[in-house]
Chains A and B, each alone.
Chain A
Amino acid sequence: MRPTVPTLAALVVMTAVTLAGCTGGATTATPTSTSSSATASAAAPQTWPTQPTSSPAAATSGDAVPTTAVMAVGASDLDSPLVSRTISYNGAKVSLDVWAPQIRDHQMYVTVRATLDPTASGPTQLMRLLADADPTSQVRGIPDGIRVVDPVARKEYLPSLGPDKLPLCSPNMVRSFAPGDVAYVTCVYGQPTGSPKRLQVVAPNFGSFDAPVR
């Protein structure tokens, strides 16, 4: 029997972004500082603005902006994030809120929220900040660098792959985010073996977050 996820809302990218338009590539920068803070409250997500695109293939490969409004998850679907951390990236503060990994129908889901500080001087490619260091990942704009680690079993879970062999992380876009923009990112992973109670969510540039499994 093929497991399916009963509620799409659990998977969907929740992206609350006000796009200022593509303003070109962001410069590469190394985060200069980190800080941890208490949990932040979840902001109400907004629907994604529709954009034209040329073909389905282009959209799924991350070359074009998705044409649909990504469904927003109601506030009740997301409680407060587990932990938040702020870094300095390219001279701007970027915060990452992390929710505890969820196990549903033999898959694991991790949701994070990246927020570009409103006082940032210019646009930032938030998805590249969360993408794997591999140059291919950096170019295609998929935030596939988020890993889930089981330190007891010494295993690392990478984002699952879709039929196009691309990581199932959303949003899938090469686009600059303007100061104040917020992006919700969800990635799908395989169900951890051994039913661990705690895992580590490891986000590029932000570090490791210890988390209970829901």
Chain B
Amino acid sequence: MPLSASLAAAMTTLLASTITWPGPLEGPGTSRVIDIRDVTRDQDGAATVTTGAGTLDARLNANVAFAKDSARLTAAGQARLSELAAVTKALPAGTLAITGYTDDLGSTEHGLTLSRQRANAVAHELRASLPPTVTTTVAGKGEADPLVPNTDETARAQNRRVQITFTPRP
């Protein structure tokens, strides 16, 4: 099945998703319409993508997407970004922020440089198909803002990531 067709459902939910959900306090038989965000995760751990309510939030696992201590994309990383590009090319006007992060190992300077290079590599893959109404920002934050404390290798692996966040123009 063509890649773009296979992501049609994701693109639909990207723009606006609502469901009617029971409100726990409103009493029996009542409900409210709420915005929702759908969450999908790759089984190989390449990425976790949250879409809906006009937003996109993707976390690219740097351990899968990049070669070790490098900004060179792996085949899995390129494949995942290709899928993501099919979604981002349908984005409405807004800003796509691409931010790289590393763990706390190595020097701070090295982390900042590597995270910025990785963010640039992701931006390079996505920019080609982005609509002109979408602006991109690219940053490397190194070991700042860890998802979890860098207590062990499992935690450090979680922190090695590239975050891709879309904010629609108000």
Contact = CB atoms under 8 A, between A and B. Distances in A.
Interface of A: 2-5, 8, 11-13, 47, 53, 56, 59-60, 66-71, 105-107, 149, 151, 153-163, 165, 168, 170, 172, 188-194
Interface in B63-83: none
Interface stretch (B41-49, B91-99, B116-124, B160-168): B41-49
A11 B9 contact: no
B106 interface: no
A106 B9 contact: yes
A7 B98 CA distance: 39
B25 A8 contact: no
B39 A154 contact: no
A71 B29 contact: yes
Nearest to B24: A66
Contact of B19 (A66, A71, A188, A194): A188
B13 interface: yes
Nearest to B38: A190
A132 B46 CA distance: 20
A191 B52 CA distance: 11
Contacts of A155: 40-43
A168 B22 contact: no
B156 to A, nearest CB: 18
Contacts of A191: 9, 12-13, 38
B136 interface: no
Contacts of B31: 8
A53 B25 contact: yes
Interface of B: 1, 6-10, 12-13, 16-31, 33-44, 50-53
Nearest to A66: B24
Contacts of A71: 22, 28-29
Contact of B26 (A4, A68, A154, A156): A68
A133 B36 CA distance: 23
Contacts of B38: 107, 157, 160, 189-191
Given A66-B25, A194-B1, 15 more contacts: A2-B18, A4-B19, A53-B25, A56-B24, A67-B25, A68-B26, A107-B36, A155-B40, A160-B36, A160-B37, A162-B21, A163-B53, A190-B51, A191-B9, A193-B9
B28 to A, nearest CB: 4
Nearest to A153: B6
Interface centre among A59, A161, A170 (most CB of B within 10 A): A161
A56 B25 contact: yes
A145 to B, nearest CB: 13
A194 B42 CA distance: 15
A66 to B, nearest CB: 4
Counting from the closest, the 6 A-B pairs by CB-CB distance are A190-B38, A66-B24, A158-B39, A69-B28, A154-B43, A59-B24
A201 to B, nearest CB: 15
Contact of B18 (A4, A8, A156, A159): A4
A13 B34 CA distance: 16
B23 to A, nearest CB: 7
14 contacts: A2-B16, A3-B12, A4-B20, A4-B33, A5-B20, A11-B20, A53-B24, A56-B23, A56-B25, A60-B24, A67-B24, A149-B43, A191-B12, A193-B9
Contact of A168 (B6, B21, B44): B21
Contacts of A158: 39-41
B20 A190 contact: no
Contacts of A3: 12, 17-18
